Amino acid sequence: MRGSRLGAVALVTVCALVSAAGSAVAAPPSAVPDGTALQAALDRVTATGAIGAVAEVRRGDAVWRGSSGKSRLHGRQPAPIDGRFRAGSVTKTFTATVVLQLVGEGRLRLSDTAEWWLPGLVPALGGDRITVRDLLQHASGLPEYTDGLLDGDAPYDRFRTWTTGELVRRAVKDGNRDRPLLFPPGTDHHYSNTDYIVLGMIVEKITGRSYRTEIDQRIIRPLGLRNTRLPGSSPFITGPHAHGYEPVRKADGTLVPVDYTTVNMSVAGAAGEVISTTADLDRFFRTLLSGGLLHPAELREMTADTSGGGWGLGLEIATLPCGTIVGHGGGTPGYRTISFHTLDGARQITVDWTDWGTEADAGPAALALMTAALCPS
């Protein structure tokens, strides 16, 4: 359920690493990815803390897919190259795409308030001024509903089914008292899963159908994303997949790995429940960025960082020496994902890894892999 502020924070690190190297330049989009170098970079992800990792790199029509490590902590089976995984906050880009499609259809405006569509939902002072744009860009000031629900990324009650109303109430109420906004809407930015739970509710109010149905009918089915789904309250990952683990502290203080592959992700909803593959996510972003899902006006809105803080509308944005990249990242129990792309979708990478360790951190190696894929020397 973490976003990538793996994207927003760690991309600063990526920029620094690439700038320090001083040699990253854009390669022709059709250049064949160097599979040997990419595999070596992916192997460093598993060498620095991940149990298993999978990646897809695309440059134009040329594609490289790889896997490294194991599918289980104490197993021997390799991580499946086509494995499904929980992509966490990458879900936000799916939700934002549906919202912007509704804008393009004239059924919704970015300046509409949440109060207009969902009267009384946010009772705090200033809550009636939160706009759809604020929600998409994490500028609403809404507190994070996940506070107190998670131990790291792991839900304390892993099999409970949550309703959207229950989740939002956690953000806007403290017992019977209204929780104040973190700041007046539109004046600052604070990454909040609550924003996207509210957006999912707005989609349902406008269409009369769940956000899951809208994402399925508008994106997953038309694009043929056969290995992508929003599982709702189902706790299972179907098809080939690696197992994800979370550290749990025993009574004696030691940390032990607990398999969290099976978990009810209704706790993440429109903010982070999607299950997908590297190939499906690259296809989704390639179609989105090439204009296959949104009208030009809405796509420009989505990919513009008008805040200067690295946020588009449902996208994270960063500038590398080889150009601007956009995408999203996510963290869920046991799984970490980054999916970033050039603005035209010509160069792409999606990588997911399952990590375990109290000190090891595979994140920097995954970011180095991303840099190598998008800004080849």
Instruction: Give 30's pLDDT tier (boundaries 50, 70, 90).
Output: very low
| CA distances to 62, 92, 186, 267, 353 from 141, in Å | 42, 17, 8, 20, 31
Distance CA(259)–CA(236), nearest Å, equals 12
Helix orientation angle between 164-172 and 193-207, rounded to the nearest 10 degrees: 130
For residues 253 and 94, which has the higher predicted lDDT (pLDDT)?
A: 94
Q: What is the tens place of the pLDDT at every residue in 316-342?
A: 999 888 899 999 999 999 999 999 999
Q: What is the tens place of the pLDDT at every residue in 281-313?
A: 999 999 999 999 999 999 999 999 987 789 999
pLDDT at residue 22, as a whole number = 35
Q: 131 phi and psi, to 5 degrees?
A: -100, 170
Q: Token pair for residue 171? A: 């953000």
| Helix, strand or coil, per DSSP, at residue 67 | strand
Residues 6+ apart with CB under 8 A from 224: 283
| CA distances to 183, 190, 247 from 187, in Å | 7, 10, 37
Does 36 score more than 50 pLDDT? yes
**Overall size of the chain counted in residues:** 377
Beta carbons within 10 angstroms of residue 260's beta carbon: 23
Contact 353, 324 (CB under 8 A): no
For residues 344 and 13, which has the higher predicted lDDT (pLDDT)?
A: 344
Instruction: Write the DSSP symbol of residue 242.
Output: -
Residues 6+ apart with CB under 8 A from 259: 73, 243, 244, 245, 334
Residues 6+ apart with CB under 8 A from 58: 33, 64, 282, 286, 347, 348, 349
Q: What is the set of active-site residues?
A: 89
| Helix, strand or coil, per DSSP, at residue 283 | helix
Helix orientation angle between 10-21 and 363-374, rounded to the nearest 10 degrees: 50
Amino acid (1-letter code) at residue 167: L
Of 374, 367, 368, 331, nearest in space to 349 by CA? 374
The model carries a pTM of 0.93
Q: What is the tens place of the pLDDT at every residue in 80-125?
A: 999 999 999 999 999 999 999 999 999 999 999 999 999 999 999 9
pLDDT at residue 308, as a whole number = 74
For 307-333, the DSSP string reads TSSSB-SS-EEEEETTEEEEEEEEEET
Does 32 score more than 90 pLDDT? no
For residues 10 and 315, which has the higher predicted lDDT (pLDDT)?
A: 315
Q: Residues 260, 98, 328, CA angle at the centre, nearest 5°?
A: 50
How does the average pLDDT of the chain come out, rounded? 90
| Rg (the chain; Cα; Å) | 20
Distance CA(332)–CA(337), nearest Å, equals 9
